[in-house]
Structure 1
Amino acid sequence: MSATAAGVAPFTGDRAESIEMIRDSARGLLGSDMARVRKLRFTEPGFDPALLRQMAEAGWIGLAVSEDAGGTGLGQAEMVALAEELGRASAPEPLIGCALSAHLLAAAGEGELLGQLLAGDAVVLTAWQDRANTLSLAASADGARGFVLGAAGATHILWPVQEGGRVALHVLARDQVEITTEATQDGGHLGTIRPLPWSGHGPGRHVADDIGAALTEGLDRAALATAAALLGGMEAAFAMTLDYLRTRQQFGKIIGTFQSLQHKAADAKMQIALTRAAVEQAAAALDEGAPSHLVSRAKARASEAAMLVQQACVQLHGGIGYTDDYDVGLHMRRAMVLVPAFGGAALHRRRFMELSPELEDA
């Protein structure tokens, strides 16, 4: 069995050390206190702008943006490690959405707004879809677009538009759009964005003629980062569950000694290991410029495994796991929001079948 298939990171030496340093940095900044997450639920913007600025100052938003464009110039393996820690902390900050916008702005050569985003002076999110569970760009240039996590905190919106067979990029300031929000299961929100009436060629300010390839690549990166966040949430919930199984007593015995519970925990551990292998292999493939079908495999597996593992963790806690006061439920609610983000399991299974070179040659 290969190192990747076994769930071991496929990196050694300096690269492995760099990834571990990012993990340590993320854990130090995010902490492990879920009280912060609870305090932010059902508020707007639903995240801590000051912490998002700290993330930007730490180089997280521009982690995979080239140094020439003002970013950190690291790879997808580092971004995956960071996203995993975000998921482990159930952090509501829209870092993945901001990283997608940074990627598009860098491709467009829009240095001024990119600099503001990377410095934490702007919160730039991308509105690209007009229906759920799709990776396709909205058909209309001026119709409503939705499913933007953390939209209430945005200072700017990126608005890709089909123009003459290409994908142009426009930037809209906050006062050029109407944003309505809908609460999500984790206490955050999804935003629906409508551009206000404009004159000229398309909404807002035109900044690039063709970012189609960058949008496709950026959505791949965002889908993989979301899979990694789901992985981090699974591992955090599972660690809490193991602690509970080792300490909770029933009928005079530690419940972790009950064989039926051991079987359920073993199934959850297997799902986590398979997800880690898929996510890390996809990150390594993206860094090597390989086809993106591995991203779809990772997102499909993470989306399915997350719900299986989170439900198992809640059940293994018994009645307390179903209460809102217990932290394991926060991870399950976060997973319910992230599973459909950037495409759910069914979409990515279909996409894997379409893109897989092995299947094409069969």
Structure 2
Amino acid sequence: MSEALAGTEAERAESIRMIRDSAAAVAPRGGDTRRVRALRFKDPGFDPAVLREMGALGWIGLRAPEAAGGAGLGMGEMCALAEELGAGLAPEPLIPSVLSATLLAAAEDRAALPRLLAGETYMPTAWQERPDTLEVPGSPDAPRRFIPQAAGAGGFLLPVREGGRIALYVLDAAGADLAIERTQDGGNYGTLRPALGEARRVADDVGAVLARALDEAALATAAYLLGVMERSFDLALNYLRTRQQFGRVIGSFQALQHRAADLRIQLGLTRASVESAAAALDAGAEGAVRRAAVSRAKARAAEASLLVTRQVIQLHGGIGYTDEYDAGLYLRKAMVLANQFGSAALHRRRFMKDAPEGAEE
């Protein structure tokens, strides 16, 4: 390995470490979940002040180029950050904000982008028209569904198909036809009926940028789920080390040790998939190679997070089923995010279509 390459890798590792450390200010690992519980099942479902703090830390612009006011960092950094936020169950919609920042940066929009990057407004991209898809029909009048934390949105980005291109519009939330539905984790989804007559057109064609940004959002969500399952597993290990039955800590029972070992394997496989996909994207993977890498990671994270968080509930026994105990918060979060930006089934199908010959999930 050349000294230059070694230096670059060392700098990258330090950058990722600093990203992880900075996340502790917002979502400390092992910290209490009182803030998360206080925000559940209330509008807007997150703390706008924390979203502004994320903007001040440069997280919303993490993937946007420096020329547009962003940080221009890679998916390695983005996934490390998402993992830490998942471990802390941060409800703030960082991943949808990063997606929108990528689109507005490509559109070179100087009106909405600065406020979005600063976290002063939440402006999700309303792209999805049906369940479980990563396709963007861009129908001008079709309702846009499953918009994360839409109750706190100050505006929306609307991709609209015009001929063979995907144009981008900005729609203010004031007066928008928006319906809100609660989610299992205490957040919300929105269904928006677009009114293009009231929207501002900001780009002629963002189709390629949007496809890449959706893949990056799917991978970041996989990393968030990795954080969720890691912290959930930590809770189970702590419980196994302290809970006693028949005069012995239950972690000494061989059957529970085997179950914990199986869950640790799931964590290791998921981490390998996420980190491999992030490295591939940072190395410039495009097209089918990019899609296959992302789909392998998202399919793995979606299934493993549900498996781990459900098993953690069982390892805790009766107390795990109570809402007052934190283990259930992680299961609820996994249930909501497992299908966001594509379910495991969708990503398995896409992986089989796009993976290089001979590749295995």
TM-score class normalised by the smaller sequence:
over 0.9
Q: How does 1:53-64 map to 2 (within 5 A)?
A: 53-64=52-63
How far did residue 124 of structure 1 move?
1.0
2:144–2:194 CA contact under 8 A, matched in 1: no
2:127–2:138 CA contact under 8 A, matched in 1: no
Q: Distance in 2 between matches of 1:28 and 1:175?
A: 32
Aligned to 1:247: 242
Q: Distance in 2 between matches of 1:314 and 1:148?
A: 29
Paired AA for residue 44 in structure 1: D
185, 204, 209: which one aligns with 1:209? 204
How far did residue 23 of structure 1 move?
0.3
27, 30, 34: which one aligns with 1:30? 27
2:138–2:166 CA contact under 8 A, matched in 1: no
Aligned to 2:181: 182
Q: Distance in 2 between matches of 1:310 and 1:123?
A: 29
How far did residue 58 of structure 1 move?
0.3
> Which residues of structure 2 form unaligned runs of 5+?
1-7
1:127–1:157 CA contact under 8 A, matched in 2: yes
Is 1:218 matched up with 2:213? yes
How far did residue 282 of structure 1 move?
0.3
Paired AA for residue 317 in structure 1: H
What percentage of aligned pairs have identical amino acids?
59
Is 1:14 matched up with 2:11? yes
How far did residue 30 of structure 1 move?
2.0
Question: Structure 1 length as normaliser, TM-score?
Answer: 0.93
Is 1:274 matched up with 2:269? yes
Q: Distance in 1 between matches of 2:175 and 2:11?
A: 46
Q: Distance in 1 between matches of 2:39 and 2:294?
A: 31
Aligned to 1:97: 96
Deviation by residue 1:295-339 (Cα, 9 ceiling, x = unmatched): 100000000000110011110000000100000110010000000
Deviation by residue 1:223-275 (Cα, 9 ceiling, x = unmatched): 00000000000000011110100010001110001111111101110000000
> Which residues of structure 1 form unaligned runs of 5+?
1-10
How far did residue 33 of structure 1 move?
2.0
Q: Distance in 2 between matches of 1:104 and 1:357?
A: 29
Q: How does 1:328-343 map to 2 (within 5 A)?
A: 328-343=327-342
How far did residue 139 of structure 1 move?
5.0
Q: Distance in 2 between matches of 1:295 and 1:95?
A: 19
Q: How does 1:100-111 map to 2 (within 5 A)?
A: 100-111=99-110
> Any idea what SS the aligned residue of 2:25 has?
helix
> Any idea what SS the aligned residue of 1:64 has?
coil
Paired AA for residue 218 in structure 2: A
How far did residue 85 of structure 1 move?
0.8
Aligned to 1:136: 135
Deviation by residue 1:121-180 (Cα, 9 ceiling, x = unmatched): 221100001111001113521121110110010111000011111110011001252211
Q: Distance in 2 between matches of 1:273 and 1:27?
A: 23
> Any idea what SS the aligned residue of 1:346 has?
helix
> Any idea what SS the aligned residue of 2:140 has?
coil
Give the CA RMSD over aligned residues: 1.3
Q: Distance in 1 between matches of 2:17 and 2:316?
A: 31
How far did residue 89 of structure 1 move?
0.6
> Any idea what SS the aligned residue of 2:43 has?
coil
1:307–1:332 CA contact under 8 A, matched in 2: yes
Q: Distance in 2 between matches of 1:70 and 1:263?
A: 49
Paired AA for residue 57 in structure 2: A
How far did residue 29 of structure 1 move?
2.4
> Any idea what SS the aligned residue of 2:134 has?
coil
Is 1:322 matched up with 2:317? no
> Any idea what SS the aligned residue of 1:315 has?
helix
Equivalent residue pairs, number:
346
Q: Distance in 1 between matches of 2:120 and 2:306?
A: 36
How far did residue 359 of structure 1 move?
5.2
| Runs of 4+ off more than 6 Å | none
1:353–1:359 CA contact under 8 A, matched in 2: no
Q: Distance in 2 between matches of 1:261 and 1:30?
A: 30
2:129–2:144 CA contact under 8 A, matched in 1: yes
Q: Distance in 1 between matches of 2:201 and 2:176?
A: 15
How far did residue 191 of structure 1 move?
0.7
> Any idea what SS the aligned residue of 2:24 has?
helix
Paired AA for residue 160 in structure 2: V
